[in-house]
Amino acid sequence: MHYKTTGDLARDFGVSPSTIRHWTEQFKEFLSPAAGRAAENGFRVFDPVDVAKLWEIKRQRDRRRALGEIRADFRQHAFDSEYWAARVQDLEEENRRLRSELSRVLRRGGLGAQDQGATAAYVSARPRWDQAVSGR
């Protein structure tokens, strides 16, 4: 099982480490007991299920949802493993679809050369679900 540190998540999600710590505190009732606790090396670590939950918080915050609203949703699904498995599949499929669409547009020449460079830089720098979960 691959664990992520607070810094790893902050980098993968495009947020600050203090944001990850804040979400961990605000949603501790929905995360595993070890989530965000310091490991032997002193780093706070998160398992893949907690990473998925924190990613969902990030996605909802990106949609300007209040933490209270997100918490209410978590109360319904936080411990439903089938729900989280479906969320992981949805996110992975969305990632594949968007990458395929971007490749198709770039192959067609739908963007000018300057736009292609900016788009490629954005794609490589933006937070990615697959990196957050896989540890790449």
What CATH number does the domain containing 67 carry?
1.10.1660
- Token couple for 72: 């209410």
Handedness of CA 31, 33, 35, 37 (dihedral sign): positive
Handedness of CA 84, 87, 91, 92 (dihedral sign): positive
Render pLDDT for 109-133 as a digit per residue (tens, 0 to 9). Answer: 765 555 555 555 555 555 555 555 5
Domain count, the chain: 1
Would you state the pLDDT for residue 110?
Answer: 65
Would you state the pLDDT for residue 51?
Answer: 86
Q: Is the pTM of this model over 0.75?
A: no
Would you state the pLDDT for residue 20?
Answer: 95
Write down the residue that tokens 């989280």 correspond to: 84
Render pLDDT for 37-81 as a digit per residue (tens, 0 to 9). Answer: 777 777 888 888 888 889 889 999 999 999 999 999 888 886 777
Would you state the pLDDT for residue 88?
Answer: 73
Report how many helices (DSSP H) and strands (DSSP E) the chain contains, helices first: 7, 2
What domain range is 59 assigned to? 4-134
